[in-house]
Amino acid sequence: MAGAAVAARRTLLEFDAVAEAGQLGRSAPAPGSGTALTPKLRRTVFDAQQRQDLPGVPVRAEGAPPTSDPAADEAYDGLGATYALFSDVYGRSSLDGAGQPLQATVHYGIDYDNAFWNGAQIVLGDGDGEVFERFSKSLTVIGHELAHGIIQYTAKLIYQGQAGALNESVSDVFGALTEQYFLRQTASGASWIIGEGLFTPEVNGRGLRSMSEPGSAYDDDVLGKDPQPADMTGYVETTSDNGGVHLNSGIPNRAFYLTAAGLGGYAWERAGQIWYDTITEPNFPADCTFSLFAAATITAAEKRYGAGTEESSAVQAAWREVNVMV
Ligand SMILES: [Zn+2]
């Protein structure tokens, strides 16, 4: 148990940090350059066969029937569900907006307690089986990792401090929306838990993070208590985890939840549209702070729905509630 617990604790505090380490310094190819890509869904799932070499052996290509491997099929379906959210709802073709093929690798490493985006694809570990189950089980996790890819092509938020926490938060937002859209859940009917179902029954917890009540996702003898703050009064100043990017993301996460809950109905429709408009705004600052981001969401709401509307009021009230001053 001890080894697994140590690895799991590290995952909880620095979930998918490897992703962004790989992402840093990597420049994305310009979309639309060279051969024009047909905007359609093109998935490939690979099996790393418990090694840590990427991408691994291809096991399911687009249109191929299910394999006998649940991890490979969950990854395939998760890529499809994430593509569907962005394509159907926001009119975006894949991560780069130009139909980039989607790739996932499963069975990465041995008892690997993490999932990540490496700058070009998502990677899913099997979990240690004592604290974590396989990471492909969570649609929010698959959507979260792919959202890091979208940020790489849009807002380009740096992975440090408040901008890093916003990178994490926006990934949680679209991870949650991927699952809610797939299940056709309303804001009031959704769990707002990131990584629901990832813990084994041994763990006292609902998932990695709660967007509606940050700090309440788990409270376990071995893992400790979820350390996320729910508003600016709990903002964590730290040098670890790139300045607490996985902790302070709880604050903008709750602002999104409050916006969605305030508007009601499907969160991907108005709240999600406002957040999507915000990160795809040209000249978005890569070193964005919480205050600047809050102001940008209000501007986006006013631009799409008008000033003084229900939408712009909901966004402003949400940021006030988490004590982020615009
Ligand atoms: Zn992340």
What's the complex ipTM? 1.00
Non-local CB neighbours of 148 within 8 Å, separated by 6+ positions: 16, 19, 20, 23, 117, 167, 171
Nearest to 177 by CA among 59, 80, 100, 89: 89
pLDDT at 241: 95
Environment of ion ligand 1 (residues, CB < 5 A)? 16, 171
Let me know: does 196 contact 140? Beta carbons within 8 Å: yes
pLDDT at 33: 43
Task: State yes or no: pLDDT of 269 exceeds 90.
Answer: yes
| pLDDT tens string 303-326 | 999 999 999 999 999 999 999 999
Q: What sections of the chain are H helices per DSSP? A: 2-13, 17-23, 70-84, 90, 139-153, 161-183, 241-248, 250-263, 270-279, 290-305, 310-321
pLDDT at 19: 52
Amino acid symbol at 96 = D
73 CA from centroid of ligand 1 (Å): 22
Could you give the 3-state DSSP secondary structure of residue 156? coil
The domain made up of 161-321 is a member of CATH 1.10.390.10: yes
- Residue ranges, comma separated, of all CATH 1.10.390.10 domains in the chain are 161-321
Task: State yes or no: pLDDT of 37 exceeds 90.
Answer: no
| pLDDT tens string 2-25 | 566 767 777 776 666 545 444 433
67 CA from centroid of ligand 1 (Å): 28
Amino acid symbol at 205 = G
228 CA from centroid of ligand 1 (Å): 14
Non-local CB neighbours of 240 within 8 Å, separated by 6+ positions: 13, 14
221 CA from centroid of ligand 1 (Å): 25
- State CA 8 to chain mean position distance: 19
**pLDDT over 70, % of the chain:** 89
Task: State yes or no: pLDDT of 34 exceeds 60.
Answer: no
The mean pLDDT of 278-289, rounded to a whole number, is 97
15 CA from centroid of ligand 1 (Å): 7
- Comparing 52 with 1, the larger pLDDT belongs to 52
Choosing among 3.40.50.10210, 3.10.170.10, 3.40.50.300, 1.10.3720.10, the CATH entry for 2-153 is 3.10.170.10
Helix axes 270-279 and 290-305, enclosed angle (nearest 10): 120
Mean pLDDT (the chain) is: 92
Task: State yes or no: pLDDT of 35 exceeds 50.
Answer: no
| pLDDT tens string 49-98 | 999 999 999 999 999 999 999 999 999 999 999 999 999 999 999 999 99
Cα separation, 193 vs 140, in Å, equals 8
Cα separation, 125 vs 7, in Å, equals 12
The mean pLDDT of 101-129, rounded to a whole number, is 97
Which two three-digit tokens encode residue 251? 């604050």
Of 17-31, 229-243, 271-285, 301-315, where does mean pLDDT reach its minimum? Answer: 17-31
- Residue ranges, comma separated, of all CATH 3.10.170.10 domains in the chain are 2-153
Active site residues: 145, 246
pLDDT at 317: 98
123 CA from centroid of ligand 1 (Å): 12
